[in-house]
Amino acid sequence: MDRLLQAAALLPEDYRQALILRGIREAEEIRLRTGRSPTWTEAGREHNFSERACREKDLLCVLDKACGASLHSVSETLRRGFLTVGGLRIGVCGVRNPAEGGWSFQRYSSLCLRLPHECRGIARDLIPVLRENAAGGTLIISPPGGGKTTLLRECIRCLSEGGLRIGVADERGELSGTENGEGGFDLGCRSDILIGTSKGEGCLQLLRCMNPQLIAMDEITCREDLQAAMQIAGCGTGILATAHATGVEQMRLRPLYREILEAGIFHLAVVISGSGRERRYSMTQLSS
């Protein structure tokens, strides 16, 4: 299913029509903010697609459709500020409800629907090097919205099709993009996908139970993820992960990432630069 249509289906009727009438074919995000016109994002720039300002009711409409009016079923991710539906990640902002451990919101003010992409062939030049470096670790680096997840997804598919047994720790269901265990992106014929557990826990579970040759995970963001990466690296299994930064030098500014680099878990970095169709991928050797 076309991801833009999938996202449009969640919008209120008039917004859905406006989006379709504008003939928008590719978008990175759709954003709704109360009191403002809704926007769609292309190459990092936002464009309005309707004159009518959003009301909180519109945001509730999107959330109701996304979770099937079942906030209880997404309470764990909503606690962390997002929910996922069929690979589509919806970031939520507003006023937190202090009751019930603060998982829900009293008021909703912004939603950001991030559309996942499948770009076949973008990893063609990287795959031979990644395959050679499979036992070591590879880190894909770019700023938020830079295309890390899309590249990671394509790398997983190609490496898996190429014969590697890959365990995918897909915490938010964004990599596989499945809904109720069906459909979603093709991650190759030798990929075992674990959805819904934290990356740290998921990686260790994959390692114990699925005997992977490579473990892939999106966005190393906290100490738990780092510890999981260290455990994987110490077990002879390769690791393929992503991190937020503009380059290796910027990574050194963040204590957690500096620790990652110093630990020597990752031997290779793939840095993504540019935006939209102009993305470039450069490889840097981190250690041997």
Q: According to the binding rule CB under 8 A, does residue 278 interact with another protein? A: no
Q: According to the binding rule CB under 8 A, does residue 100 interact with another protein? A: yes
Q: According to the binding rule CB under 8 A, does residue 83 interact with another protein? A: no
Binding string, residues 143-182; x marks residues near another protein by CB under 8 A: -------------------------------------x--
Answer for the pair 151, 117: CB distance below 8 angstroms, yes or no. Answer: no
Binding string, residues 44-63; x marks residues near another protein by CB under 8 A: -----------------xx-
Q: According to the binding rule CB under 8 A, does residue 197 interact with another protein? A: no
Q: According to the binding rule CB under 8 A, does residue 70 interact with another protein? A: yes
Q: According to the binding rule CB under 8 A, does residue 72 interact with another protein? A: yes
Q: How far is the CB of 22 from another protein (least distance, A)?
A: 21
Binding string, residues 216-255; x marks residues near another protein by CB under 8 A: ----------------------------------------
Q: According to the binding rule CB under 8 A, does residue 99 interact with another protein? A: yes
Stretch that binds another protein, among 99-107, 219-227, 238-246, 256-264 (CB under 8 A): 99-107
Q: According to the binding rule CB under 8 A, does residue 67 interact with another protein? A: yes
- Rounded CA separation 87/73 (Å): 16
DSSP notation for the chain: --HHHHHHTTS-HHHHHHHHHTT----SEEEEEBTS--EEEETTEEEE--SSPB-HHHHHHHHHHHHTT-GGGGHHHHHTTEEEETTEEEEEEEEE--GGGG-SEEEEEEEEEEPP---TTTTTTTHHHHHHTTTSEEEEEE-TTSSHHHHHHHHHHHHHHTT--EEEEETTSTTT--BTTBS-----TTEEEEESS-HHHHHHHHHHHT--SEEEES---SHHHHHHHHHHHTTT-EEEEEEE-SSHHHHTTSHHHHHHHHHT--SEEEEEES-GGG-EEEEEE---
Of the candidates 2, 13, 249, 278, which one interacts with another protein according to CB under 8 A? 13
Of the candidates 42, 56, 75, 275, which one interacts with another protein according to CB under 8 A? 75
Binding residues among 102-131 for another protein as defined by CB under 8 A: 104
Q: According to the binding rule CB under 8 A, does residue 98 interact with another protein? A: no
Positions touching another protein (CB under 8 A) are 10, 12-13, 61-62, 64-65, 67-73, 75, 99-100, 104, 180
